[in-house]
A and B are shown apart, each in its own frame.
Chain A
Amino acid sequence: MPPTEDDPRFEDLDWNEIQQSKRTVTAERAALAVGVALLALGRAYQELSAGLYLIGDWRPVTLDWAFLLAVTVVAAYGAVPFAKRLRRRPVSLRGVLRRRPAVVLSGAFVAGLVAVGVVGSALGGSPPLRFQHAYHPPVGFASTVPPQECLGVETGGPFDRVCHGTWEYPLGTNERGHPLGFLLVEGARTAAYVTVISAAFIVPLAAAVGVVAGIRGGVVDDLLSSYVDVQLCIPALLLYFIGYAYYGPSLLLLLATFGLLSWGGIARLVRSEVIQRREEGYVLVARSLGASGAYVARRHILPNSTNTLVPAVFQLLALFVLIEAGVAFLGFHEIGTYSWGSTISESINAAVAGQLQERADQPAHKIWWVSSLPAAALTATLVAFKTLGDGVRDALDPRGDRS
């Protein structure tokens, strides 16, 4: 198509008229501002209102507010750019599903996890203790350690009763008579808290430190790099136990210690990517155009670092889930937080340090569902995070479109 008279041409631009724009409103910032404002309103309402509960019988605590803030941050700087990108170059869901089913499934799983984290707590309160209903097997299975009151079909004689699964408790119950479905959802909520809070606060910190060290170089780089090296030497678990000694078990404490001590690896990755790319031609051109360091980092360096950065971040998040489960497995968790780790621990007669934790009085193989189901959920979460990390990396790379 030959240029016509109406076509704007670059030489017709009047550069005396074009002013440096101070465009401050972007979709990301708007989303962040709206989210933060809503949270502040909710917090103020909870503070001022006479009622004990915010919505239904949900009474959010500091951790919940931190999680909601983290969700806002992730939505503003993860979901909004993603939506923008989709609008610029639409992708058919069916096509992606056919080409990369594992990634789509993982994405759905992670999205579900986060959704459970957001709405799960508001949905149901804690079911009551029903020791008489302990050890119901899942539907379709039978238990040789039957509950006092078996709600399903009972077979066998009085001394070798066998209780069959019931739809009352489709996934069975543990020794306190808590349905496993509830425990899985609660564990998912914990996992969602861990991942979203880490992603929202730890990853930006790591990226910022890496970018500053890489771009500024010199003494700044030396100081930041050696600080990161020192920090990587401190075992976060030790710090958690010190905090535990003072404050007792707390998920917030766990997130703070592991979060604040574990971003060093990501920061180092970012720094090396920055150093590798800061002399690239397009960075030189952008700088000669007068672009600031922040602009160059945001528009050029970080987008080009996603191949290493994104899988590393997802791996770190999966690791946090695993660490939380491990700490809970050892019993150093709040008793009211039903993590997958603590559920597994309670069912396998592990002689563990945490004295607060109840232990099953049955051999683990006889009540296998109590440990297997959370373990499967944990495994699925780890696999989903890693698969999704690789999928996001490929989706962001224009050359990575392997169909």
Chain B
Amino acid sequence: MTEEPICSVRGLEKHYPITRGLLRREVGRVRAVDGVSFDVERGEALGIVGESGSGKTTTAHTVLGLEEPTAGEVRFDGDPVSELSGDERRDFRRRAQLIVQDPNDALDPRMTIGEAVAEPLRIHGLDDADRRRAIVADILERVGLSGDDLDRYPHEFSGGEKQRISIARALVVSPDLIVADEPTSALDARVRSEILDLLDRIRREFDIAVLFISHDLDVIRRSCDRIAVMYLGEIVERGATETVLADPAHPYTRVLLSSVPSLDPTDRELGRPLTDTVPNPSDPPSGCRFHPRCPDVIPPDDLSVPEETWRTIAGFRFSVQAGELPESAVGDRESETPTSGDGDAGGRTATEVRRAVGLSEELRDPEAEAAVEDAAAELAAGDVDAADEILAAAFTSVCERETPAAVARPAGRDADRDATGTVSCLRHGRGGTSEPARSDGDGKNES
């Protein structure tokens, strides 16, 4: 596109300080959004997708100026939002609108919906109450409600109707950008598709750009031209929706895709994360932030075990780190240390621990075997921290050391569209030399 994007975000960071004591000494910071860049072109729908806690909503609020960014810049129609003042700021406030997630708290329970939809007009200076009322009656009809509903209160409407009212309220000031923060996550499937249709219709009819924030890939797939995948405050992959979803390059995108319920049970295996805990954003993992959960984490160079075994080892290691081991894999500290104690009812043996984590067979690599055995023994004795240290020393992946840069997505079946996307994964971008582990993006070779 030659035209300037309506909204352009560069290096956006939003950190929340964790303070303690009377003087509010900073003891740490939650990196909710940590270096995010994207453009929203005029009239396009961009989807930001990620798990809860990935910083999607903070991104949305920062784009709208509801939060001051810690660093980075948001430009709206070419002007930096933080520098706007007076009339320009007011104009931005009119041209960028928000639709919030929960239809139940989107509307003030003490305002009639006529007042609610007229509120933007009122705040932006349309003083003529009769004119406001007429406009609101008209727009309510156009989003599928009745003009007679003006004097009713929100609690008299269903969730889908409330979301229509929210859309009407966002639309009534003729915005150029609508930020829709999980607009359909609280709705059932049929209503959801109606609401998405409505958003799609108004986007095309009035040429409004929509920034979709969602954890639901189906919503994004359905409504968005382009997609950006967020994990722990960073965008890990982006590109045209169809190509990214058909041919995901980042392991996290595959994890998200596989979490979408599918009728084919064999689909799921490829994208299961190693651990389920999303790390704390106040202490994000080093290197690639996804590495402790990544099913595709790169093995150490000196390790000579099959791919499958490596994944089990990595799963073992990061489960220990996250404290997510199954009940049967951790010994009881209080009981007598069962170094070789078969038959000790209270304790566990290293063999049992290994069986519980799926590493009961002896590994071919002697160093790896020794480390796993030692760690299992420590676990059997109940010392999780020692086991963690042993495993961390023995199996250090490059993913922990190096922070991946965004590189162009590998050319898939459709080279034209791929040219726009990027991916931040060492599998794709380590000095441009390494081959992606899976050339086949669908990952069928794994099943």
Contacts and interface: CB of A to CB of B under 8 A. Distances in A.
A281 B89 contact: no
Interface stretch (B133-141, B220-228, B335-343, B432-440): B133-141
B269 interface: no
B123 A289 contact: yes
A290 B134 contact: no
B139 A20 contact: no
Nearest to B107: A282
Contacts of A396: 110
Interface stretch (A7-15, A46-54, A147-155, A177-185): A7-15
Contact of A289 (B61, B87, B119, B131): B119
Contacts of A304: 108-110
A10 B119 contact: no
A8 B141 CA distance: 13
A287 B106 contact: no
A299 to B, nearest CB: 8
Nearest to B98: A288
A80 B109 CA distance: 22
B102 interface: yes
A403 interface: no
A285 interface: yes
B147 A1 contact: yes
Nearest to B131: A8
B97 interface: yes
B108 A10 contact: no
Contact of A282 (B108, B131, B134, B172): B108
Contacts of B61: 284
B96 A288 contact: yes
Interface residues of A, number: 40
Given A19-B125, A280-B105, A304-B108, A285 B98 contact: yes
B135 A10 contact: yes
A62 interface: no
B246 interface: no
A397 B108 CA distance: 12
Given A10-B139, A288-B64, A20 B109 contact: no
A303 interface: yes
The residue in B90, B106, B138, B174 that gathers the most chain A C-beta atoms within 10 A of its C-beta is B138
Interface in B67-119: 87, 89-91, 93-94, 96-98, 100-102, 105-111, 116, 119
B171 A398 contact: no
Contacts of B411: none
Contact of B155 (A13, A306, A398): A398
B191 interface: no
B51 to A, nearest CB: 20
A219 interface: yes
B134 A7 contact: yes
Nearest to B95: A15
A323 B107 CA distance: 41
B100 to A, nearest CB: 4
A281 B172 contact: no
Given A10-B173, A290-B93, A21 B66 contact: no
Interface in B187-241: 206
B169 interface: yes
B124 interface: yes
Contacts of A289: 93-94, 97, 119-120, 123-124, 173
Contact of A285 (B22, B124, B155, B169): B169
A285 B139 contact: no
A10 B171 contact: yes
A290 B123 CA distance: 8
Interface string A1-29: 11100011111010100111101000000
Contacts of A1: 141, 147
B65 interface: yes
A19 B386 CA distance: 68
B153 A399 contact: yes
Interface string A88-124: 0100000000000000000000000000000000000
Contacts of B131: 8
A309 to B, nearest CB: 12
Nearest to A22: B125
Contact of B101 (A8, A281, A290): A281
Contacts of B135: 8-10, 13
B342 to A, nearest CB: 57
A10 B151 CA distance: 19
A291 interface: yes
Nearest to A7: B138
Nearest to B110: A303
Interface in B122-173: 123-127, 131, 134-135, 137-139, 141-142, 147, 151, 153, 155, 166, 169-173
Contacts of A11: 174, 206
B124 A18 contact: yes
A397 B101 CA distance: 24
A22 to B, nearest CB: 9
A89 B172 CA distance: 25
B116 A282 contact: yes
A304 B93 CA distance: 24
Contacts of B100: 281, 284-285
Contact of A15 (B169, B173, B206): B173
B412 to A, nearest CB: 38
Interface in A272-288: 280-282, 284-288
A300 B107 CA distance: 10
B110 A398 contact: yes
Nearest to B171: A10
B24 interface: yes
A290 B109 contact: no
A285 B126 contact: no
Contact of A3 (B87, B110, B141, B172): B141
The residue in A3, A285, A290, A299 that gathers the most chain B C-beta atoms within 10 A of its C-beta is A285
A227 interface: no
Nearest to B139: A10
Contacts of B172: 10
Nearest to B156: A398
Contact of A284 (B93, B98, B142): B98
A144 B171 CA distance: 81
A65 interface: no
A295 interface: yes
Nearest to B100: A281
Contact of A9 (B90, B96, B124, B138): B138
Interface in B369-419: none
A306 B111 CA distance: 13
B138 A3 contact: yes
Interface string B176-190: 000000000000000
A218 B174 CA distance: 36
A285 B106 contact: yes
A21 B107 contact: no
A20 B107 CA distance: 24
A303 B64 CA distance: 26
A8 B166 CA distance: 20
Contacts of A13: 121, 126, 135, 173-174
7 contacts: A7-B134, A8-B131, A8-B134, A281-B102, A285-B166, A288-B93, A398-B109
Question: What 3 A-B pairs come out closest when comparing CB atoms?
Answer: A290-B93, A281-B100, A281-B106
Interface of A: 1-3, 7-11, 13, 15, 18-21, 23, 89, 218-219, 222, 280-282, 284-291, 295, 299-300, 303-304, 306, 396-399
